[in-house]
Amino acid sequence: AQSVTQLDSQVPVFEEAPVELRCNYSSSVSVYLFWYVQYPNQGLQLLLKYLSGSTLVKGINGFEAEFNKSQTSFHLRKPSVHISDTAEYFCAVRKETSGSRLTFGEGTQLTVNP
Amino acid sequence: GAVVSQHPSWVICKSGTSVKIECRSLDFQATTMFWYRQFPKQSLMLMATSNEGSKATYEQGVEKDKFLINHASLTLSTLTVTSAHPEDSSFYICSATSGSSYNEQFFGPGTRLTVL
């Protein structure tokens, strides 16, 4: 079974500051890794994903994440945040097997203050 | 990207009634659909996985007789909450996957259910 731990439930930052949202995972098999964003009362939108290849993955809205296999981490970063980045962020993993379920972390609420 | 819709986006019903939520893949054929529920300030909890033409696979602790899932076509899955009670009030989200090379899940916008 897989598990995901998001180390920070809430991250408050000021506008234009850099941010890192931390995610660690546990799995006995190879997995795909994902970051999703959820705005209030909406579904999930994919920010980025790691499937294979380069460990630095770039996504939408200026976000990027780095896969670190030895530390089993997939931290999400953005060099300069905007007010509009305020949302809930979920890290998720899935086995590489077709049709496998996603396992989500508990989420991190990012609040960007002016 | 692929689009998944849900209907209705919100619903209020009386205790004891049944509510049906639809999940549609608009521009692709969804071989597998997933149903999640999300309580306020919490993560998504997988309720069940459904494959087109097959019975849904429910997660442990989810009552299959209460949450009826039908996946009759490659573009439509429905979740029916039977005899709803206030504790069933939640945000229900579906996702769909096309069976492509890495099987990305595309999420619907969610349905807010409030049971009075």
Do B109 and B9 contact (CB within 8 A), yes or no?
yes
Do A56 and A64 contact (CB within 8 A), yes or no?
yes
Do A26 and A91 contact (CB within 8 A), yes or no?
no
Q: Cis peptide leading into A18, omega within 30 of 0?
A: no
Distance from CA of A104 to the nearest CA of B (A): 7
How confident is the model over A68-96, as pLDDT tens digits? 999 999 999 999 999 999 999 999 998 87
Query: What b/e sequence results for A21-46 when a residue is b if at least 16 CB atoms lie within 10 Å of its CB, and e otherwise?
Result: bbbbbebeeebbbbbbbbeeebbbbb
Q: Which two tokens stand for residue A2?
A: 């897989």
pLDDT tens over chain B, length 116 residues: 689 999 999 999 999 999 999 999 998 888 889 999 998 888 999 999 998 888 899 999 999 999 999 988 999 999 999 999 999 999 999 999 887 656 678 999 999 999 99
A111 touches chain B (CB under 8 A): no
B100 touches chain A (CB under 8 A): no
Sign of CA dihedral A22, A26, A27, A30: positive
CB contact under 8 A, B99 and A106: no
Q: Which of A3, A39, A90, A98 to mutate to test the interface with B (most CBs of B within 10 A)?
A: A98
Q: Which two tokens stand for residue A68?
A: 């670190």
Q: Considering only alpha carbons, which residue of chain B is nearest residue A33?
A: B104
Distance from CA of B48 to the nearest CA of A (A): 10
